[in-house]
Chain A
Amino acid sequence: MGFWARYRKGIRVAVPFAVAVGAFGISFGVLAREAGIGSIASVVMSATTFAGSAQFAVASVLGTGGGVAAACIAALLLNARYGPIGMSVAPTLEGGRLKRLVEAQIVVDESWALSNRGGGRFDRQILIGAGTLLYLSWVLGTTLGVLAGNLIGDPNKLGMDAAFPALFLALLVGQIRSRRAAAAAVAGAAIALVVTPFAKPGIPLIAACLACVIGWRRPRRQDRRWAPADTIAEELP
């Protein structure tokens, strides 16, 4: 496949995600305006932070009269997962420090999972193709929500909040390539469920990372990969 073809493929596989992310962006724009964040600040936030759940947390904390500190702590807890996620893609990024810093910004859950080739490797072009499309739909969705939110209404009435679990599950299915990966996924989900009632949003995701210790032991022979290590993008329908 040609050089640009893989970027295009990244864009193509990200389309269903971009639809959901765009709708999510619209609802962020609506909520941010109701929370008094202001049109320009809302769009600037989407363009710089580019992390949906954290931005929603800021809007809801500020909107319900919470302080700046509470809003920032909630957001940073939700974004803490991008620490380990950023580590996992670090060897994939190219170029000087500035270029890598910029490339690291388009990493979100969806672009990260789409570009995962298994075996701890990532496809840089798919990451960039998918991440760029998701970035554009997030920023455009926010702009639309800020400007025309009243006309569009609440996307959650259309069930858009149910789109994300389904999308993440589709991505997860493509990641279960070994017995060990299956065990880790079950453990991660169990930890997240158990921790949720006792912790602020975001902490369950960080706690779930503990399940990764399953990977500390060297794999036994029989834990061969079930599928050749290629990007999940190939496996998506």
Chain B
Amino acid sequence: MSAAWAAVVIVGAATIGIKSAGAMLLGNRELPPRIGGMIELLAPVMLAALVVSNTFGADHKLVLDPRAAGLAAATIPMALRAPLLVTVIVAAATAAIIRLI
């Protein structure tokens, strides 16, 4: 088996396991209230972390690149409650234009 196939099989199997571990172990049981209160905050926490790491994150460093400008520009259509597709286009176009300059 080539290195690439080995990685594909190992990462695939492990990811399937990680994604389904909660469903397999917990089943349909409701979580205890305090744990539930923590899980409830997972969405805002994870999304905030995804925003900053997809904007400023690089391997072992923080960077300021055209992604940040794209995000800043995207807040305008967002504030105007424009369709999400417009927001995406504004973000992408801003970053693309800055890369061209």
Interface residues of A (CB under 8 A from B): 15-16, 19-20, 35-38, 41, 44-45, 48-51, 54-55, 58, 62, 67-68, 71-72, 75-76, 79-91, 93-94, 97, 100-101, 103-105, 107, 109, 112-113, 116, 118-120, 157-173, 175-176, 180-182, 184-189, 191-193, 196-201, 204-205, 208-209, 211-219, 236-237
Contact = CB atoms under 8 A, between A and B. Distances in A.
A104 B52 CA distance: 26
Contacts of B94: 159, 162
Contact of A205 (B2, B12, B14, B46): B46
A105 B19 contact: yes
Contact of B18 (A79, A172, A173): A79
Interface string B60-80: 111000110111001100100
B46 A91 contact: no
Contacts of A157: 96, 99
B26 A196 contact: no
B4 A37 contact: yes
A107 B19 contact: yes
Contacts of B60: 196-200
Contacts, number: 318
A94 B44 CA distance: 25
B88 A163 contact: yes
